[in-house]
Amino acid sequence: MYRPHIALTGILLGAALLSGGCAKDTPATPPPADEDASVGHIHGLGVDPATDSLYVATHFGLFHVDQSGQPSRVADRYQDTMAFTVVGPGYFLGSGHPDLREDLPAHLGLIEFTDAGETWTALALQGEADFHILEPAGDALYAYDATSGRLLRSEDRKSFDEVFRGPLTSVAAADDSVPLIATDGNGQLVSIDAISGETRELGGPTMMYLDTTPDGTLAGVDPDGVVRVSTDTGRAWREVGSIDGQPAAFTISAQGWYVATETAVYRSTDDGDTWSRVL
């Protein structure tokens, strides 16, 4: 998630959280021709502040969504983009697995796009890490590697230190001076000290995805699509609105709040109270 002046139920829930998205961590195979322009198996969302445009990261590539809600594939690329975040105008970070037409390792590591997704450059851990979470916080980047089950921290996006080890589905941070709030493999809310790695269970509702507003309010979506907010770092929650379906991605931007299911994207312009489908 890009912020100006900041340098990101049951058996069904368990399966969704522990899988981290794709069933197999393999390079993506292009879909059939009649499904080429369809957007499905969504992993991530982001809004480019340069154009206020929505980008949708999927198992079969990155898509740009215009103001009419029409998606278009970016750069004729079919890579499986498992983690995706917008960190500046036209500037994205990602991870995942390559298009099968590319001669690349199965794990892309950390990659960056400086031209709104048209091209990308490898930054770190190519062939080693498969990041399923990328969360910018101040000058730091938190990245969760699904291959090792480690949450890593970097200040230069090249070298990393381990912060936490264990299954995670989502990580949120308002800035780099407060504890991280995360959801573990069971949807339990936990607080993680970014320096010591000390964790504390917070209790509260089962959640799947988290993010923070520019003023530090914590927001989350549960397995049933119910959206909640917390103004005390996850200790108490208030229900606001809901979407139709199980969430697959969540992001908050200056242009609104966005939640995706596997095949649809919803937007709220009133801090999660009401939602309309945009894709």
pLDDT score of 8 more than 60: no
pTM of the shown model: 0.89
Percent of the chain whose pLDDT exceeds 90 = 78
244 HSE (CA, 13 A, CB side):
7
Beta bridge partners of 96: 81
- Type of residue found at 99: D
d(CA 76, CA 11): 37
pLDDT digits (tens, 9 = 90+) for 42-96: 999 999 999 999 999 999 999 999 989 999 999 999 999 999 999 999 999 999 9
Mean pLDDT of the chain: 89
pLDDT digits (tens, 9 = 90+) for 173-195: 877 667 899 999 999 999 999 88
